[in-house]
């Protein structure tokens, strides 16, 4: 069994995962989720750590609503602090509206420590 196979298998076992592609040479795992999933990034990071690897930068596409300087993810109770970014003022102006954003999360040494979401793009064109 290869390490890529083990990581792929661990990620695929998470509820709500549709497909997983792993490239250990590139250090990348691409995970496609089923609609309505409630997975949190910490669950992916833990699966990666349990297989002997250190999770790195995680790119996410999330839908939610802005509440002050935070994004509440639709369908979960997860609340991300929003890191300073060029999009932060535009996000705050959309408070209370459901939006989709692409962003980056950088896991710390303790995967349970809250990680701010660095928004890189508003997905709904706003």
Q: Are residues 67 and 37 in the same domain?
A: no
Give the pTM.
0.85
* Closest C-alpha to 70, from 121, 106, 116: 116
Query: Residue 53: is it exposed, middle or buried by C-beta count within 10 angstroms (0-12/13-18/19+)?
Result: middle
Task: Output the six-digit token pair for 52.
Answer: 């002997």
The arrangement of strands across the sheet holding 58-67 comes to: 79-81, 70-73, 58-67, 98-105, 118-122
Note the pLDDT of residue 116.
Answer: 94
Q: Are residues 115 and 68 in the same domain?
A: yes
pLDDT tens sequence for the chain (126 residues): 458 889 999 999 999 999 999 987 888 999 999 988 889 999 999 999 998 888 989 999 999 999 888 999 988 888 999 999 888 888 888 888 899 999 999 998 887 788 999 999 987 544
Q: Are residues 118 and 62 in the same domain?
A: yes
Distance (Å, whole) CA 11 – CA 81: 25
> Residue 9 is part of a domain; what is its CATH number?
3.30.70.100
25: containing domain? 3-50
């Amino acid at each position: 069994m290869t390490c890529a196979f083990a990581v792929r298998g661990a990620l695929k076992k998470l509820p709500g995962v549709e497909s997983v592609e792993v490239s250990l040479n590139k250090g990348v795992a691409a995970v496609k989720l089923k609609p309505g999933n409630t997975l949190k990034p910490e669950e992916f990071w833990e699966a990666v750590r349990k297989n002997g690897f250190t999770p790195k930068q995680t790119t996410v596409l999330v839908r939610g609503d802005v509440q002050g300087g935070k994004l509440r993810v639709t369908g979960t109770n997860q609340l991300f602090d929003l890191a300073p970014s060029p999009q932060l003022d535009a996000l705050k102006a959309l408070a209370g509206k459901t939006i989709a954003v692409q962003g980056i999360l950088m896991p710390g040494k303790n995967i349970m420590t809250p990680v701010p979401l660095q928004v890189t793009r508003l997905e709904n064109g706003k």
